[in-house]
Chain A
Amino acid sequence: EVQLVESGGGLVKPGRSLRLSCTASGFTFGDYAMSWFRQAPGKGLEWVGFIRSKAYGGTTEYAASVKGRFTISRDDSKSIAYLQMNSLKTEDTAVYYCTREVGATAYWGQGTLVTVSS
């Protein structure tokens, strides 16, 4: 069974950093791209970015709203994807979800809440 479990969320002050983790199981992690999405309280869904599998270069793509501040990485030996968030803003407050793949994303984690507030 495919499982994705996010962790690392919490309350952080504006301008600070936070790293989220997405621990995967139930599939060959290294074979798949991994994505991050987010949802601000009471709002719709927003794609944050994704990292390709090593077979496709392991390269990353980001939404314009986070480019230059957020970095996605992966550790295939541990089946973990990371979302490093720097220079956090109040508007980054959201539930962050990791997913397998970036197109038709059938597998989502349960989400982790990030609150950016002074």
Chain B
Amino acid sequence: DIQMTQSPSSLSASVGDRVTITCQASQDISNYLNWYQQKPGKAPKLLIYDASNLETGVPSRFSGSGSGTDFTFTISSLQPEDIATYYCQQYDNLPPLFGGGTKVEIK
């Protein structure tokens, strides 16, 4: 199985800050990587697919980059409504495993 190592597991930042989350795959997954946002009690929401493509309707302050084994997710200017847990997920091979998640809080 392809393991996904996501960091940090949590972070606290101020409104307007730039926030960066990283995800490392245990082997080359090309660009088959998604980023999801999950708020408490809600289903995950797809934000980024194929490592860098913004899902329709998702604000442009969210972005993703990377390929191969190293990936980055960025919120360019943190907003109060961005408080959530973020997950990366590879879908190059079955099983489509997720990273452990990053809980983002407001400082």
Residues of A that sit less than 8 Å from B by CB = 44-47, 61, 63-64, 97, 102-106, 108-111
B82 at the binding interface (Cβ < 8 Å): no
- The count of residues in chain B whose C-beta lies closer than 8 Å to any C-beta of chain A is 22
Q: What's the dominant secondary structure at chain A's contact region?
A: loop
| Residues in A neighbouring B89, C-beta threshold 8 A | 45
Known pairs A106-B46, A111-B43; A44 contacts B98 (CB<8 A): yes
Whether the Cβ atoms of B46 and A63 lie closer than 8 Å is no
| Residues in A neighbouring B66, C-beta threshold 8 A | none
| Residues in B neighbouring A45, C-beta threshold 8 A | 36, 38, 44, 87, 89, 98, 101
| Residues in A neighbouring B62, C-beta threshold 8 A | none
Additional A-B contacts beyond A61-B94, A104-B34 (19; CB < 8 A): A44-B98, A44-B101, A45-B36, A45-B38, A45-B87, A45-B89, A47-B95, A47-B97, A64-B95, A102-B91, A102-B96, A103-B96, A104-B46, A104-B49, A104-B55, A106-B46, A106-B49, A108-B43, A110-B43
